[in-house]
Amino acid sequence: MSMENNGAKDAWIESVMNSTEGIQHAHPSTHLYDKINKKLNKKDAKIVKLPLVKWAAAALLLLMINIGTIFYYTTRNKSMNVAEQNQSNPFVAELQMNNTYNY
């Protein structure tokens, strides 16, 4: 039985190998090499220099820091105004000074 399996396997391998007969190799178009060279030598592409990118990144970082600072001081001033309003009532100010934990 193993001889029959080997024979069937060999026949299958042979049929697969023979299936490639008559297949032609792929050939590129005659002007493909010229098209590639033309695109490679084309100098219309804009090249951004690295120092320009660094300056843009630094400017963006400074802008983000400024926006964060404005946001921080705006919220801080609002919370200070609330604290000043609460100081008009000494009882509220006293409660804010003491930490109370409800466990």
| pLDDT, tens digit (0-9, with 9 covering 90-100), for 12-37 | 998 888 888 888 888 888 899 889 88
102 pLDDT band, cuts 50/70/90, is low
Q: Is the pLDDT of residue 48 over 80?
A: no
pTM: 0.33
Q: Between 55 and 4, whose confidence is greater? A: 55
According to the 3-state scheme, what is the secondary structure of 34-50?
A: HHHHHHHHCCCCCCCCH
Q: How many CA atoms lie within 13 A of 12 on its CB side?
A: 6
Which H or E element spans position 82?
helix 50-86
